[in-house]
Structure 1
Amino acid sequence: MLVQIDHASPVSLGEQVAASVRRAVAEGTLRKGQRLPAARALAKTLDINMHTVLRGYQILKEEQLIEMRPGRGAVVSAAAPDHALAVDACRHFVRLARQAGLSGPETLSMVQTQLHA
């Protein structure tokens, strides 16, 4: 299944929808120009509210990963970055760092250490 969600996760359902699509693009399951499932159909499949799916799609639109086309729905952008998986991993890392109580500068320092390792 293209989009998977975990109702027990502390991550919002809309962000989980966006993360699933990011992963699919990064892994090549979804290619540039391909249509995403209609929000209503995906919501029914996932047993969530359609507006939650649309919120996830809006996140992806703001990241320029997808385009919302009237009458055609959501389509993976031709300008979609090829680093979508890295963006998703970065979001996850930041979430973990915040949960661990790390400050912004401490988190950046950890990343810089890894870049220079």
Structure 2
Amino acid sequence: MLWKVDPAAREPLVEQIASSVRLALVRGQLAAGERLPSARELAEVLDVNANTVLAAYRVLREEEIVEFRRGRGVRVGPAVDAPAIARSAVVEAARTYLAEGLRHGWGVDELTDLLRELG
């Protein structure tokens, strides 16, 4: 398993774990119907509390990316759309970028120009 978290990062651990699952789906490392590690197993590997993993799994369930099945664990949903997940992640990153730029006094045009420079 290649999922990692950074306790020192600004992004909460719950979101780091959820983002790792989304990225694995987009990259084809996870497929519809595939079982995810138990909260306890993943918590041990990532050295986090199992409740943190469960919270990340709940976020993914609310996004209809995973399903909880008694006796079958947490599985990727059967109708998961990886391109839609990727778009959603990019939109969220763009919102964060925009909010941070505006907070620091940058205008939308300046932020757009910066993106063009970086691209």
* Fold in common (TM above 0.5): yes
TM-score range, shorter chain: 0.7 to 0.9
The aligned residue for residue 86 of structure 1 is 87
The code of the aligned residue for 2:69 comes to R
| Largest Rg, 1 or 2 | 2
Is 1:49 the counterpart of 2:49? The answer is yes
Distance in 2 of aligned mates of 1:51 and 1:99: 29
Change (3 A) 1:14 1:45: same
Instruction: Give the structure-2-normalised TM-score.
Output: 0.80
The aligned residue for residue 29 of structure 1 is 29
Higher RCO (Cα < 8 Å, 6 or more apart):
1
Percent identity, aligned pairs only, is 37
The aligned residue for residue 96 of structure 2 is 95
Structural RMSD (CA): 2.1
The aligned residue for residue 115 of structure 1 is none
Distance in 2 of aligned mates of 1:6 and 1:54: 17
Equivalent pairs counted in the alignment come to: 107
Spell out, residue by residue over 1:15-43, the C-alpha distance to the aligned partner (whole angstroms, 9 max, x if none): 11100000111111000000011110100
Mark the runs of 5 or more structure 1 residues left unpaired by the alignment: 112-117
Matches within 5 A, 1:15-26: 15-26=15-26
The aligned residue for residue 114 of structure 1 is none
